[in-house]
């Protein structure tokens, strides 16, 4: 379990992270979201012990993050690089060794990963000879090679084609089943909706929204409804149940002021209801709305 | 610690096989030996050329001078170096010079015996060999004439004014006497000092480039998620240090081989451990600076410009090498030995000339180690703060604030 408790980071006059707290359960895929410059990278760097918070605590399974073995953390930074002039296998083995993969397993584990990504035949090629997408796979391998318990992925899907995105997603889900906890930072909201169970949205270093994806959606549900019906209907009485009702032929749209059940009880004797749909806001809509409101 | 060793291994492995390292390491002795051969070849070539020299004489010693000019200075094949020609008028000699019929001409004034100064004309004055030949021969002609005029036998004077030669012996601290020569006294200190200067600059540049590359390629963030900045800096500096040791070992082997082949003075084996200690200390001192500069700048060019001042300081011993080697015990040489950026160079020089006392060796080395400790601490602080700052122009004020923090 990861517990982030009231962390704060200030750079000169800029507050990068402002009293942020959230926790992530073991085996969860957690979405850390926010616009550019929101403070995500600073939080991630503090999680990785690259920088220290001015105050506040980060605990991994109950221990302060600074005391935790670094090999238990895998990291794919957004600003990622490689040694372009060095060979693929050598580079991965160097980083694997540095991250604590035992010597007797190092080569085999590295080759297994390369095979999984169809890169085994390129093992002795220089990294600069690989395509951008393939280089990204190497960086992904770097984050997972030491079999970490916690993995932080900052924009892992950028630059990958749909097939490779799927491959990455499969690996993430497979590792999750093995109990690995993922923190996933991205701007691609559809990926978050597909993968994450919990999210935290931050802006200007502050937490705007946090919780399960379902709860967040529920909280932002505005009860915008669409009713399709048969029969004749006028607008009389509608204002008691709806804001801004729009009646167009056999379709009625609006935002409910009262519980859906009360509205349906009122409507049912008047017309024959063919369909009734409550619009749930997408994560992207929630993101835009929250960020706009906080800016 | 294991991680530091891995970084050392990686840094060493990727640099030792890099083209830049192989080329600079191999090319240096090739260039040194090559330039030696080239200058020897050119000197030999120069020794085969005959020069036609003009002379205008108003003093009456011309005939004797022409004869001496033709007979006294010989080329390797035994022929005369000068082919002298007599001109009646200076204008004729000048015309011949302009028409490239002669290489130069000399005008002997009437009062040359009374110290009136002769004059020399040439299309360019860079050929020292012609000038010294003409001047020497003319001096001997005039001196001989003066002796004859005073009834002194010039042959007897020559015989009596033979030079005295000195056999040179070097005595070490244990009283061991070894035959030496002037060249060995200069060559060995210079060789080691030059080696340190070169190794610092070549490997310092590699270190600087390595840090800048890892920052600009954003590899740094991946590394820092695995190791601490201190481990990374230590691994990089030690890796480059190992590389420098490899380079030095290679040069010493080449030096020994060349020394044996060309019968050059032998290595001062006794002082090698102390030389090595100063060598390592000097390298660490500069390496810490180079690594820090790599974190302060986004381009190699900017970082190099900022290293300029330190580079100039490091060049002081090279610039004054002749004086320092000839005067290893002089107050200025001793004082400079205690200025940390210069200490390793000066002490290598003084140890190899046998002029450093045990107290001086221990105190300067101690001072240098203290400075290395402070430099690495300071560098570590800056490295830790700046290593992940991209594209930000740093002010001296900011850097000073981090150092004090």
Query: Measured between alpha carbons, how far is A127 from A134 in angstroms, rounded to an integer?
Result: 9
Task: Show pLDDT as tens, one digit a residue, over chain A (295 residues).
Answer: 899 999 999 887 888 898 999 999 999 999 999 888 888 888 998 998 888 889 999 999 888 888 888 888 898 887 667 888 889 999 999 999 998 888 888 899 999 999 998 899 999 999 889 888 888 889 899 999 989 999 999 888 887 888 888 899 999 999 999 999 999 888 888 888 888 889 998 888 888 888 888 888 878 777 788 889 988 888 788 888 888 888 888 888 888 888 888 888 888 888 888 998 887 778 888 888 888 887 7
For residue B15, is it within any domain?
no
A66 with A130, same domain: the answer is: yes
- The reported pLDDT for the residue numbered B394 is 59
Residues in A closer than 8 angstroms to B222, CB to CB, are: 75, 77, 80-81, 95, 139, 142
A24 and A145 co-located in one domain: yes
Chain pair A-B, CB pairs under 8 angstroms: 56
* Same domain, residue pair B142 and B207: no
Which residue among B221, B227, B390 sits closest to A77, beta carbon to beta carbon?
B221
Q: Tokens for B330, please give them.
A: 């002089």
Residue A61, φ and ψ in degrees, nearest 5: 50, 40
Residue A8 DSSP label: E
Higher pLDDT, A185 or B24: A185
Q: Which two tokens stand for residue B264?
A: 């050059």
Touching check for A211 and chain B: CB below 8 Å? Answer: no
Tally of CA atoms within 13 A in the half-sphere of A64 that contains its CB: 9
Same domain flag for A151 and A77: yes
Short-list A153, A159, A204, CA closest to A181:
A153
Residues B204 and B133 in one domain: no
Residues B293 and B322 in one domain: yes
In Å, the largest CA–CA distance within chain A is 79
Tell me whether residue B169 is in a domain.
no
B400 has a pLDDT exceeding 70:
no
Mean pLDDT of chain B, nearest integer: 82
Count CB atoms within 10 A of the CB of residue A276. Answer: 15
SS3 B14: helix
Q: Is A156 on the interface with B (CB under 8 A)?
A: no
The answer to whether A97 faces chain B, any CB pair under 8 Å, is: yes
Residues in chain B within 8 Å Cβ distance of A50? 221, 224-225, 388
Of B10, B14, B217, the CB nearest to A82: B217
Specify the range with the lowest mean pLDDT, choosing from A157-171, B100-114, B244-258. Answer: B244-258
What is chain B's Cα-based Rg? Answer: 30
DSSP of B235-299: HHHHHHHHHHHHHHHHHHHHHHHHHHHHTPPPP-GGGHHHHHHHHHHHHHHHHHHHHHHHHH-SS
Q: Do A70 and B218 touch (CB under 8 A)?
A: no
Q: Are residues A53 and A159 in the same domain?
A: yes
* Same domain? A103 vs A234: no
The verdict on a CB contact (< 8 Å) between B222 and A77 is yes
Is residue B276 located within the same domain as residue B363?
Answer: yes
Judge whether B275 lies within some domain.
yes
CA distances from B122 to B94, B105, B106 (A): 9, 7, 9
Asked if residue A294 belongs to a domain, the reply is no
Domain total in chain A:
2
A94 touches chain B (CB under 8 A): yes
Spatial distance between the Cα atoms of A111 and A124, rounded to a whole number of angstroms: 11
A242: CB partners within 8 A, 6+ apart = A254, A255, A256, A257, A263
| B91 assigned to some structural domain | yes
Dist. CA B142–CA B59, nearest whole Å: 10
Do B103 and B192 belong to one domain? no
B222:A75 CB<8 A: yes
A51 in contact with chain B, both atoms CB, cutoff 8 A = yes
A15 close to B (CB below 8 A):
no
Most B CBs within 10 Å, among A48, A80, A88, A98, to test the B interface: A98
From B100, B131, B160, give the residue that closes a domain: B160
Torsion angle of the four alpha carbons B216, B222, B223, B224, in this order, in degrees rounded to the nearest 10: 100
Same domain for A248 and A147? no
- The predicted model gives B164-170 an average pLDDT of 76
Whether the CA torsion A113, A118, A123, A125 is positive or negative: it is negative
- Of the partner residues B10, B219, B225, the one whose CB lies closest to the CB of residue A81: B219
Residues of B with CB under 8 A from a CB of A: 3, 6-7, 10, 14, 214, 216-227, 388, 390
Looking at the fold, whether A152 and A246 belong to one and the same domain comes out as no
Long-range Cβ pairs for the range A21-25 (8 Å, 24+): A21/A56, A21/A207, A22/A200, A22/A207, A22/A210, A24/A181, A24/A183, A24/A198, A25/A1, A25/A181, A25/A198
d(CA A194, CA A184): 12
Query: Residue B19 domain-assigned?
Result: no
Name which of B8-22, B250-264, B268-282 the model is least confident about. B250-264
With tokens 């290893």, the residue in question is B328
Residue A245 belongs to what domain range?
Answer: 222-279
Asked if A98 is an interface residue toward chain B (Cβ–Cβ < 8 A), one would say: yes
Residues B276-292: b if buried by 16+ CB within 10 A, e if exposed: ebbbbbbbbbbbbbbbb
Q: Do residues B251 and B27 touch, judged by C-beta distance below 8 A?
A: no
Q: Are residues B368 and B229 in the same domain?
A: yes
Please report which confidence band the pLDDT of residue B172 belongs to, taking 50, 70 and 90 as the band edges. low
Contacts of A141 in chain B (CB under 8 A): none
Structure tokens at A170: 């499969």
Same domain, A188 and A72: yes
Q: Say if A290 falls within a structural domain.
A: no
Determine the structural domain holding residue B360 and report its residue range. 180-404
Which among A48, A81, A142 has CB closest to B217?
A81
Its ipTM equals: 0.77
Contact B219 A77 (CB under 8 A): no
pLDDT exceeds 60 at position B392: no
User: What does the block give as tokens for A148?
Assistant: 């970490």
Relative to beta strand A224-230, strand A251-256 is antiparallel
**Do A71 and A160 reside in the same domain of the chain?**
yes
| Least confident interval from A146-155, B183-192, B283-292 | B183-192
Closest partner residue to A79 among B7, B221, B223, by Cβ? B221
In a domain, A295, yes or no: no
Q: Rounded to whole angstroms, how far apart are CA atoms A120 and A118?
A: 6
Kindly state whether A294 is in contact with chain B, defined as any CB-CB distance less than 8 angstroms.
no
- Counted domains in chain B: 2
User: CB distance B14–A99 less than 8 Å?
Assistant: no
Specify the pLDDT at position B212: 82
Check CB contact under 8 Å for A81 and B222: yes
Minimal C-alpha gap between A291 and chain B (Å)? 26
- Does residue A241 sit in the same domain as residue A129? no
Q: Which residues are CB-neighbours of A131 under 8 A, at least 6 positions away?
A: none
**B94, B127, B160: which is the final residue of a domain?**
B160
Contact B218 A81 (CB under 8 A): yes
Which pLDDT does position A30 carry in this prediction?
93
């Amino acid at each position: 379990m990861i517990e982030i408790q009231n962390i704060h980071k200030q750079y000169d006059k800029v507050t990068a992270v402002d009293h942020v707290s959230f926790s992530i359960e073991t085996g969860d895929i957690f979405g850390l979201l926010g616009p550019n410059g929101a403070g995500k990278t600073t939080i991630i760097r503090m999680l990785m012990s690259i920088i220290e918070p001015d105050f506040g605590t980060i605990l991994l399974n109950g221990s302060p993050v600074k005391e935790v073995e670094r090999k238990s953390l895998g990291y794919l930074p957004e600003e990622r690089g490689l040694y372009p002039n060095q060979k693929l296998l050598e580079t991965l083995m160097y980083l694997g060794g540095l991250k604590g993969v035992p010597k007797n397993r190092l080569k085999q584990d590295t080759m297994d990963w390369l095979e999984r990504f169809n890169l085994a035949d390129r093992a002795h090629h220089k990294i600069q000879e690989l395509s951008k997408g393939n280089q990204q796979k190497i960086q992904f391998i770097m984050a997972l090679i030491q079999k970490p318990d916690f993995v932080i992925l900052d924009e892992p899907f950028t630059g990958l084609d749909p097939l490779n995105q799927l491959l990455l997603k499969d690996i993430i889900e497979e590792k999750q089943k093995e109990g690995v906890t993922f923190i996933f930072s991205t701007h691609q909201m559809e990926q978050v909706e597909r993968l994450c169970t919990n999210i935290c949205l931050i802006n200007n270093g502050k937490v705007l929204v946090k919780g399960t994806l379902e709860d967040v959606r529920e909280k932002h549900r505005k009860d915008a409804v669409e009713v399709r019906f048969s029969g004749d209907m006028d607008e009389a009485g509608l204002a008691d149940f709806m804001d801004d009702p729009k009646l167009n032929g056999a379709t009625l749209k609006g935002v409910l002021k009262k519980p859906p059940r009360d509205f349906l009880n009122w409507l049912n004797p008047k017309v024959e209801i063919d369909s009734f749909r409550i619009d749930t806001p997408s994560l992207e809509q929630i993101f835009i709305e929250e960020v706009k409101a906080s800016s | 610690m294991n991680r530091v060793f891995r970084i050392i291994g990686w840094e060493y492995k990727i640099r030792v096989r890099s083209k830049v390292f192989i080329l600079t390491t191999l090319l240096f002795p090739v260039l040194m030996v090559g330039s030696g051969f080239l200058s020897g070849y050119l000197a030999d070539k120069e020794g085969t050329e005959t020069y036609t020299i003009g002379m205008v004489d108003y003093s009456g010693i011309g005939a004797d001078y022409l004869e001496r000019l033709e007979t006294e200075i010989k080329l390797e094949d035994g022929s005369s170096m000068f082919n002298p020609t007599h001109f009646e008028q200076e204008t004729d000699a000048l015309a011949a010079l302009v028409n490239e019929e002669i290489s130069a001409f000399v005008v002997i004034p009437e009062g040359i015996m009374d110290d009136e100064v002769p004059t020399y004309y040439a299309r360019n004055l860079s050929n020292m060999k012609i000038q010294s030949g003409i001047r020497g021969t003319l001096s001997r002609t005039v001196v001989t004439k003066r002796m004859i005029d005073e009834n002194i036998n010039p042959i007897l004077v020559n015989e009596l004014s033979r030079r005295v030669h000195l056999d040179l012996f070097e005595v070490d601290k244990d009283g061991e006497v070894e035959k030496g020569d002037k060249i060995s006294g200069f060559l060995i200190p210079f060789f080691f000092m030059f080696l340190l200067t070169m190794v610092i600059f070549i490997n310092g540049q590699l270190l600087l480039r390595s840090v800048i590359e890892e920052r600009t390629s954003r590899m740094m963030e991946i590394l820092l998620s695995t190791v601490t900045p201190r481990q990374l800096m230590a691994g990089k500096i030690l890796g480059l240090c190992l590389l420098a040791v490899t380079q030095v070992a290679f040069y010493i082997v080449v030096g020994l081989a060349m020394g044996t082949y060309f019968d050059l003075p032998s290595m001062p084996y006794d002082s090698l451990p102390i030389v090595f200690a100063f060598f390592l200390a000097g390298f660490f001192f500069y390496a810490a600076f180079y690594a820090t500069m790599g974190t302060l700048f986004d381009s190699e060019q900017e970082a190099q410009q900022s290293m300029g001042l330190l580079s100039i300081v490091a060049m002081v011993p090279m610039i004054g090498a002749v004086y320092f080697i000839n005067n290893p015990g002089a107050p200025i040489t001793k004082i400079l030995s205690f200025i940390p950026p210069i200490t390793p160079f000066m002490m290598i020089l003084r140890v190899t000339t046998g002029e450093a006392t045990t107290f001086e060796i221990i105190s300067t080395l101690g001072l240098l180690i203290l400075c290395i400790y402070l430099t690495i601490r300071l560098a570590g602080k800056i490295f830790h703060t700046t290593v992940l700052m991209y594209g930000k122009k740093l002010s001296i004020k900011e850097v000073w604030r981090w150092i004090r923090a």
